[in-house]
Structure 1
Amino acid sequence: MKRTNRRILMTGIKFMALSLPFMFLAPYLITLGFLNKDNSTFYIFFPIGLIIAVAAIFFAFKGIQTIMKSMFD
């Protein structure tokens, strides 16, 4: 009977823990950018927020993929 590989599972949990702050930070920065459309800070906060949102999606996907790999591989 196969068992869960704990080392790979912990790696997946670390990826998920890394994505969690990005999930809260990205919408905040995007909203902050939209609130300052007249200023030049829109061009600072909005792209950074988009990059962090993409990073949150990537790390969450990678974490789920790694957790599934530890259980079923």
Structure 2
Amino acid sequence: MTKTKRTHKETLVKGLKQMGGSLICMFTGPSLIYISQTKLTAPIDTIMLVIAIAICCLAVYLGFRGIHTIMDSMFKKG
């Protein structure tokens, strides 16, 4: 009797949560960049721009990490 490969559900859910966090960051980061670029007069706007760029970088990282985790849940042996 051969054992069939199955998706590890806990790891899949973890990957989907990471992709959800990435989706939230994908909308939050560019929105904050737009808001900080519209006026850019106070020093707080520059700080907000730096934070927004960091959120955009986090979105890319979470996206790659989420895809990697989802692929591990489907194709990893063991």
Same fold by TM-score, threshold 0.5 exceeded?
Answer: yes
Structure 2, unmatched stretches of 5+, are none
Distance 1:9 1:39 in 2: 44
Query: Is 2:71 the partner of 1:68?
Result: yes
TM-score if structure 2 supplies the norm length? 0.85
Q: CA shift at 1:44, angstroms?
A: 1.8
Count of residue pairs the alignment pairs up: 73
Match for residue 52 of structure 1?
55
TM-score if structure 1 supplies the norm length? 0.90
Match of 2:32 among 15, 29, 36: 29
Distance 1:45 1:8 in 2: 34
Structure 1, unmatched stretches of 5+, are none
Q: CA shift at 1:63, angstroms?
A: 0.5
Q: CA shift at 1:51, angstroms?
A: 0.4
Distance 2:45 2:38 in 1: 8
Identity %: 37
Structure 1 ranges of 4+ moved more than 4 A: none
Match for residue 7 of structure 1?
10
Larger radius of gyration: 2
